[in-house]
Amino acid sequence: MAGSFSRDVIATIGLTVVVIWILPYVISTFTITVLIVYGLLGLSLGLVWGYGGILCFGQAVFFGIGAYTYAISAINIGESTLPMLLSIIVPSLFAALLGAMMFYGRLTDVYLGVITLVVTLIFYRFINSTAGPHYKIGNAQLGGFNGIPGFQTLNIPGQPSSYIWGDGYFYFCAVVLAIVYLGVSILLRSDFGRIIVGIRENETRMSLLGYDVRARKTILFAIGGGIAGLSGALFANWGEIVTPSVFSLGQSAEIILWCIVGGLGTRFGPILGAAGLSYLKFLLGQQSFVDNTLITGLILVFFVLFLPKGIVPTIVNVWDLKFGRLLSDRFQKPRRNRKLRLNG
Amino acid sequence: MDYFFVILIEILYSIASLVLIGAGLAIIFGMMKVINLAHGEFMMLGGYVTITSVNYGINIFLSILIIAPATVGLIGLVVERLVIRNLYSRLVDTMLATWGLSLFFIGVVTMIFGNTTTGISTPIPGFSIGTYQVGGYNIFIIMISAFLLISAYFILKKTRAGLIARGSMQSAEIASALGYSPDRVYMMTFFCGSALTGLAGAVLAPLVGLVPSSGGAYIAKAFITVIAGGPSLVVGLVSSASLFGIVNQLFTFLYSPVVGEVALLVAAVILLRLLPRGITGSFFKDRL
Amino acid sequence: MAESILETFGLTMKFGGVIAAHNINFKLKARELRCLIGPNGAGKSTFFKCITGQQTPTEGEVYLRGMDTSRWMPHQIASLGVGIKTQTPSVMNGLSVSENIWLSARRFHDGPEAKRKTREIIERLALGAIAKDQLGKLSHGERQLIELGLVIVGDPWLVLLDEPAAGLSGEDIERMTTIINEINKTAAIIIIEHDMQFIRSIAKIVTVFHQGAVLLEDRVDKVMSDPTVRNIYLGKRN
């Protein structure tokens, strides 16, 4: 992990300022808001997959649970502060349960993929079938495929009638993303974060060193679930309606695509991938010549075949090769031949 | 008594359709350790090929049994040569690439046929047992599945191709030791698996309204049937299809089709948690 | 009479129909150095995996310092103070040498102490020049050594070494011998090896595995001259 934390903070603040001040001249704030929300969702999988090595085919589940938790509790409570917190806590707890079930069962990659995929489908099917009037939680109708409209949107804490919307909501989302990004940075610099990366690199060795791999993966999975849930709540507030499509397989596929395209093992890659691809989708949505899904699919295949590392790591590599190598060659002496040796 | 027969046929039908849905995936996964996430879309393509050729006036059974498998098999061949071949032994990457392919196919079909439901009617009329009406086509599906399973068993057990196939399942080196390049074996496997998948999609097409995104409904079922079945091809497929088929029908009878679906999925999650290596990883070991 | 720190009773491991280890009764005293030999597939690595908890024996028990650990998880056994170097170097290839060693040190020590311990081990194994290098880019011999470094950071009292000399040059083997003798001052060691010369230079007692069972256990010179051992071992290998 190169660079110091203070540099991270400065870079994050700088970038946030750019996004808040300059981007609105190019793209409408309404659109940037959803790009930011997707960026947060991308970051959640980027953390779990890129640093923890856990390939989750169902990150959309936590996104969806976050969105539905917010909508349902906002209708029942009529104020947004507690629902926002619940939309982090509930998916996080669910992720902890699901993760514990999978990791304590010593399931490998493929089975992890199957189970997360199947869980996504269960939610999708179930929520879609809740159209009947008896599917109610408190005052909230689940509404089946029509979704839940008309819930209390974000307000200033304690003042249910002072809504945060429009440009205000855009600033709010940008700051949330910046804070979560810094939180993830702190997490990855902590001992826990470094151990997690060790587990990604070699799970067997880490457990032979005495680390309880299962517990740590479960915790990481829960953190990722919480971040995805938060982005779900932000998404619900942005759209002012939640529908079962938040649980769809297509949504899960897109999150994975963002991470691959942006670059795994980086924090910024998945955010960039999410925002970039969603914007591309938005632009493509305005034409009807080529189908959107077709292009998404082609991009995914292209990246897996030709650019498996993703954009950000590739750019960093090229940069290192062009400039880093020059510098280090000039300033470092060539290393002497090394031999195994025991001192003392 | 009549009611009992009806339930029996329904359960058998449920098992048979799971076998059909899973067969192609099982072959490709069992022999190549490749998970084809475009499996559902291959089925969807099989369905569209059938409907299109029927609309052109070709006999429906010819369309289902010959044209659809051949077309989808060829598509599979192209996919294998262009994409999968470059990703062998990179399990996660093949999953991702085939997921990309599945989106690609959905897009292509949407552009050609539009995002609307199409369908054809079943070619076999229903009949009644006592006061109950039974779909004749369901019996056809049960027969097709039984035929597939029995022939798969004999091909694997008795023929030279079956021997090579069983060898490759153990390791690619055995195939090369027998004098066959793994590359060729994989190519043929993917062709056969795709053709079988196309057949499944074609056989099921008259029963469902087809949309470009229909594949999504199949992939999860196929996936869990194969994974829960475990390493043995035929026994694994039959045992997990039976288990899930019974669970599905039971809950459908008791509550509703949606509950049946959800029960099937939940059963799969529980089963994988209890038997991480699948049913034949724990029982019926060393069978085909 | 020193107490046994490792004992197995009737240890049996089956995979499907194959018996990989059959009724192994084994004892090891504190700070003993033992070599395991035997042809490939004799059950030596399976035996190791049953001790470390990577595999749960089908029958029989493993006792570590008097505790029945047969059903324990690998990390629990490692936390007791058991270290293993696997056959092919199992290390964190994507991380640097010092990060690797830190990960091992962090398991047993808190923040600053882990850092100090990391520096100490890097110095002790003379890895200073390559401390910042990514492990995946280093040679096989260097990775062997670093894996050994990971194992000894935790000051284990039992160290299992699966073919530590494999793929090393003559000079490196000598150094490996020095390191092993160093570890042996505080820990019992079991070594799986094929290199007869290496075994002679290091071991006093040798246990011979054959077809999943213990064939013979005796002083190194007696084992080497035993006709049955010469027959099956030297005959079958290569």
Q: Report the CATH number at residue B90.
A: 1.10.3470
The closest CB to that of B110, out of A118, A119, A291, belongs to A291
pTM for the predicted model, two decimal places = 0.88
- Note the ipTM here: 0.91
**pLDDT per residue of chain C (238 residues) written in tens, 0 to 9:** 457 899 999 999 988 678 888 999 999 999 999 999 888 888 899 999 999 999 999 999 999 999 999 999 999 999 999 999 988 889 999 999 999 999 999 998 888 899 999 999 888 888 888 989 999 899 888 888 889 889 988 889 999 999 888 888 878 888 888 889 999 999 999 999 888 888 888 888 999 998 888 888 888 888 888 888 877 766 544 3
B-chain CB neighbours of A122 within 8 Å are 262, 265-266, 269
C-chain CB neighbours of B286 within 8 Å are 16-17
pLDDT at A322: 65
Does B58 fall in a domain? yes
pLDDT one-digit tens code per residue, C14-28: 886 788 889 999 999
C141 touches chain A (CB under 8 A): yes
In this prediction, what percent of chain B has a pLDDT beyond 90? Answer: 38
C-chain CB neighbours of B285 within 8 Å are 16-17
If you measure CA to CA, which chain A residue comes closest to C106? A191
Angle, CA of C101, C106 and C109, to the nearest 5°: 120
- Per-residue pLDDT for A3 more than 60? no
Q: Count of A–B CB contacts within 8 Å?
A: 116
The closest CB to that of C172, out of A204, A212, A340, belongs to A340
Across A164-168, B129-133, B273-277, the highest mean pLDDT is recorded for: A164-168
pLDDT at B229: 87
pLDDT one-digit tens code per residue, A83-115: 999 999 999 999 999 999 889 887 777 778 878
If you measure CA to CA, which chain B residue comes closest to A105? B273
Does B287 fall in a domain? no
Exposed/middle/buried for residue B139 (C-beta within 10 Å: 0-12, 13-18, 19+): middle
* Identity of the amino acid at B284: F
pLDDT at A2: 46
B-chain CB neighbours of A45 within 8 Å are none
All structural domains of chain A: 5-250+263-272 (1.10.3470)
pLDDT at B68: 95
CB C39 within 8 A of CB C233: yes
Determine how many CB atoms are found less than 10 A away from the CB of residue B68: 30
Task: Name chain B's partners: 3 or more CB pairs within 8 A.
Answer: A, C
pLDDT at A344: 33
Query: Sorting pLDDT into bands at 50, 70 and 90, what band is B47?
Result: very high
B-chain CB neighbours of C15 within 8 Å are none
Does B192 fall in a domain? yes
Query: Sorting pLDDT into bands at 50, 70 and 90, what band is A323?
Result: low
A101 touches chain C (CB under 8 A): no
C154 touches chain A (CB under 8 A): yes
Q: Tokens 């470390």 map to which residue?
A: C52
pLDDT at A331: 44
To the nearest whole angstrom, how far is the Cα of C30 from the nearest Cα of chain B?
38
B-chain CB neighbours of C16 within 8 Å are 285-286
What stretch of H or E contains B127? strand B127-129
The C-alpha atoms of residue A185 and residue A4 are separated, in whole angstroms, by: 10
Q: Which residues of B touch C (CB under 8 A)?
A: 285-286
What angle in degrees, to the nearest 10, is found between the helix axes of A81-103 and A109-128? Answer: 140
What stretch of H or E contains C82? strand C82-85
B135 or A108, which is more confident? B135
- Average pLDDT over chain B reads 87
pLDDT at A99: 94
Nearest Cα to Cα of residue C82 among C28, C160, C25: C160
A236 or A297, which is more confident? A236
Say whether A114 and B227 touch across the interface (CB within 8 A). yes
Beta pairing class for C18-29 and A148-149: unpaired
A299 touches chain B (CB under 8 A): yes
pLDDT one-digit tens code per residue, C163-188: 888 888 878 888 888 889 999 999 99
The C-alpha atoms of residue A195 and residue A188 are separated, in whole angstroms, by: 9
Q: Tokens 């690199």 map to which residue?
A: A201
Does B181 fall in a domain? yes
Q: Count of B–C CB contacts within 8 Å?
A: 4
C110 touches chain A (CB under 8 A): no
Residue among A101, A110, A252, A261 with most chain B CBs within 10 A, to mutate: A110
CB A102 within 8 A of CB A112: yes
The closest CB to that of B258, out of A111, A129, A250, belongs to A129
- Average pLDDT over chain A reads 88
Among A69-78, A311-320, C180-189, the range scoring the smallest mean pLDDT is A311-320
To the nearest whole angstrom, how far is the Cα of B258 from the nearest Cα of chain A?
7
Does B288 fall in a domain? no
- Per-residue pLDDT for B271 more than 80? yes
pLDDT at A205: 94
A197 touches chain C (CB under 8 A): yes
If you measure CA to CA, which chain A residue comes closest to B29? A110
Q: Count how many domains chain B has.
A: 1
What 3-state class would DSSP assign to A137? strand
All structural domains of chain C: 4-236 (3.40.50.300)
Residue among B219, B265, B282 with most chain A CBs within 10 A, to mutate: B265
Task: Name chain C's partners: 3 or more CB pairs within 8 A.
Answer: A, B
pLDDT at A337: 39
Half-sphere exposure of B134 (CA within 13 A, CB side): 23
C-chain CB neighbours of A188 within 8 Å are none
Residues 68-97 on C with a CB inside 8 Å of A are: 73-75, 78-79, 83-84, 86, 90-95
Where in the sequence is the domain holding B163, given as residue range(s)? 2-282
C50 touches chain A (CB under 8 A): no
